[in-house]
A and B are shown apart, each in its own frame.
Chain A
Amino acid sequence: MNIAQSIREALESLVSNKLRAALTILGIVIGVAAVIAMLAVGSGAQDTILGSISGIGTNLLFVFQGNFQQDVRNEQPLTLGDVAAIGDIFQAQHVDGIAPVVNGSAIVNFGGESSVVELFGVTPEFEIVRNYGLIEGGFITEDNVNGRASVALLGPEVADKLFGRRELITGETIRIEGQPFRVIGILESKGGGSFGSQDNVILVPITTARVRLLNRERDHVDVIYVQAVDAKSVPLANEEIAQILRTRHRTDLGADDFTIFTQEDFLSLAGTITNVLTIFLGGIAAISLLVGGIGIMNIMLVSVTERTKEIGLRKAVGARKADILIQFLTESSLLSLIGGIIGIFFGWLISFAVGQVAAASGTPFTPNVSLSAVLLATIFSTAVGLFFGIYPANRAANLEPVEALRYE
């Protein structure tokens, strides 16, 4: 019996029981569609998260107060003195730009609109370090910082909320925590972020923020953004900053009272998290594929019992065990293969729909149906058909011809 013939007979047999075949296929369709959609959503989420981390800037290091791994006594805050030391080219050759930041959340009003935003007190360097572009207006200047000026830059999302537009806003006066601020510019969009939007921000001079909005002690800063000269010097810059801070904080011995993260640290951490997420989602989906496989096995067992007499007849006219085995395996594989193909289509459709819903709800996020996921699903679903077909097919192949012919 050749393959084409086996496939034709299997198709004939499936067609003769359309509803049953369709329901069995449906089980596989749901399984495969779930796997495809979940993997697509997972990898789409990964792309978005990694993209937003890359969008923060390039070759960045983040210096935080305190040690995240262990308790440190008498930890000292980061200060402008630390910032000046790190910015000293003679102490840290691999540091290109440095931007101290104080941040917190604040309520902002304009007209009747009100919104809670992430407030950053920044210096002019922030623009370069964080790689911000402006839709209109200008960035915070040295004079603004020195004069504790009441000026603010709005993120595009804030502009949308307060003004319903992103242009011709410069010069308007908004209220932050009840105090009037003049808008001096609008930031370009950085894209949707995963740790809250990077567009839902307001930037004010660091001095203004410290004294009038966030009440930080003199000289203290929350985070220091450091830009290394290039990608290769990130580890060197990391080491230089650590040395400077250990000296200044007198923690040459013992644990550091600060923590330095590089962008790569965040990328790899986020990569790990999203991988786990993808595997988790895919694993749950795979269970439904397994259930579909059991459906195939069930229906094949019924089919073998129903066709006992036919099997007997086939054996009587010369079918060997392998012939019967192949016949039933072809049938079960065909069921799962058809299910797989339809499932891929539906999985893609679901991914597409998820993408549309995400876009409509303001989180640009593109599920990514990869070729490898499609191949994986096809191979896996056919394997499921084969695996769950083996037992029933084997049962059919081992029927005694005499017994099978006598079966009613």
Chain B
Amino acid sequence: MAKKKDVILTREITKVYQMGEVQVHALCGVSINIQAGEVVAIMGPSGSGKSTLMNIIGCLDRPSAGDYYLDGELVSNLTDDQLAVIRNKKVGFVFQNFNLLSRSSALLNVELPLHYAGVKDGRREKAAEALQSVGLGDRVNHKPTELSGGEQQRVALARAIINNPSIIMADEPTGNLDSKSGEEIMQLLLEMNKKFGTTLIIVTHDPMIAKRTQRIINLYDGLVEKKK
């Protein structure tokens, strides 16, 4: 079904939450396709369902109905543990609030996906290399609390790319950063996309960020807004 080039293909996916007695329709049939190597922004006001869509695309959650193909593989009906493996291998996450382990050094934070991937040898070297590539080669043993916001986000970025994922999901990656650090992170993200051909999906409120992507998907009330 899925074309070889479509790294992400969703068909009429819906997501319904049960909030007590009320059913909330967060997504009401979203069909999108994103090709390998594309840079895409997902935008929309609060409550538009963009977080839900991001969670499903990032394999953190499953749609209530509809099919989702990631890299040509149907993932919308996998078990929790199978999804964990997919996330580990194919998805790199960059969060607004970094989500680093505060007790562990930058190096260990970057190593973490390798542990769960079951990599035995060379984890340290590989993690150091990834930190080098985001310009933190000299701060590998610092803990997150000893790093600035921009530096923490770079650690998160190094962690996201360590397993050579097919897609990077960035959720408001610059939301907690000053404009200078934000710009650096954007540069790095785009650089990763160019260098490795990694598909980059950025969820954002910021039109300035969205402008720098190749395509913008606007969500409104759980539906993709038709292009004007």
Contact = CB atoms under 8 A, between A and B. Distances in A.
A405 B93 CA distance: 12
Contacts of A312: 99
A14 B43 CA distance: 42
Contacts of A318: 84-85, 87-89, 113, 116-117, 163
A318 B159 CA distance: 12
B87 A317 contact: yes
Interface string A255-271: 00000000000000000
B103 A316 contact: no
A402 B61 contact: yes
A243 to B, nearest CB: 79
B81 A321 contact: yes
Interface string B102-119: 011000000011011110
B101 interface: yes
A323 interface: yes
Interface residues of A, number: 24
A323 B104 contact: no
B99 A320 contact: no
Interface residues of B, number: 26
Contacts of B88: 317-318
Contacts of B95: 405
Given A316-B93, A317-B93, A323-B116, A309 B99 contact: yes
Contacts of A309: 99
B60 interface: yes
A405 to B, nearest CB: 7
Interface in A21-56: none
A223 to B, nearest CB: 74
Contacts of B84: 315, 318-321
B80 interface: yes
A402 B55 contact: yes
A15 to B, nearest CB: 8
Interface in B18-76: 55, 58, 60-61
A319 B116 CA distance: 6
A319 B114 CA distance: 10
A225 B88 CA distance: 83
Nearest to A15: B103
